[in-house]
Amino acid sequence: MTALANRTCTACKDGTPPLGADDVKRMLTELNDWTLSDDGTTISRRFEFKGFAKAVEMANLAAWLGNKQGHHPDVAFGWGYCLVSFTTHAAGGLTENDFICAARLDALVA
Ligand SMILES: C[C@H](O)[C@H](O)[C@H]1CNC2=NC(N)=NC(=O)C2=N1
């Protein structure tokens, strides 16, 4: 199987089923420091920095990746942090696209 970070997102269609809990658990092991929300619909990683400019850079990097992949993160940032979250709106939960984007972001910051 190709590593997640080398895969490309496919267009999300409304009604796409979300991944099951077992697949989510397995795919999480391929990521660095991402946490699953309590309701199982979202993965997030918090990046910490000393200052504001780096947090803005991180937000821009996540936005750039989302545009490249056609799959878009939710991003919150402020002084010292940037919180990036992925969920698939069209599925109402997690799909492979979320894990591909998370792995790609991991690779970009590694
Ligand atoms: C047509 C296009 O692929 C869809 O509107 C995409 C765009 N980006 C998206 N991003 C996310 N996170 N979830 C979606 O369901 C989604 N849908």
Decide which of 68 and 2 is more confident.
Answer: 68
Q: Is the CB of 70 under 6 A from ligand 1?
A: yes
Residue 78 in contact with ligand 1 by CB distance below 6 A? no
Q: Is the pLDDT of residue 15 over 90?
A: no
Helix axes 96-109, 53-69, angle to 10 degrees: 140
| Number of separate domains in the chain | 1
Mean pLDDT of the chain: 96
Smallest CA-to-CA distance from 33 within 94, 108, 109, 106 is with: 106
Q: Quick one: which atom of ligand 1 is closest to the CA of 88?
A: 13
Distance 53 CA to ligand 1 centre (A): 28
21-32: pLDDT as tens digits:
999 999 999 999
Q: Quick check: is 11 in a domain?
A: no
- The answer to whether position 5 is within a domain reads no
The answer to whether residue 47 sits within a structural domain is: yes
pTM over 0.90: yes
Is residue 60 included in any domain, yes or no? yes
Place of tokens 């099951």: 20
Q: Within a domain: residue 13?
A: no
- Is the ipTM higher than 0.85? The answer is yes
- Rounded average pLDDT over 88-108: 97
**Diameter over CA atoms, the chain:** 41
Task: State the pLDDT confidence band at 1, using cuts at 50, 70 and 90.
Answer: low
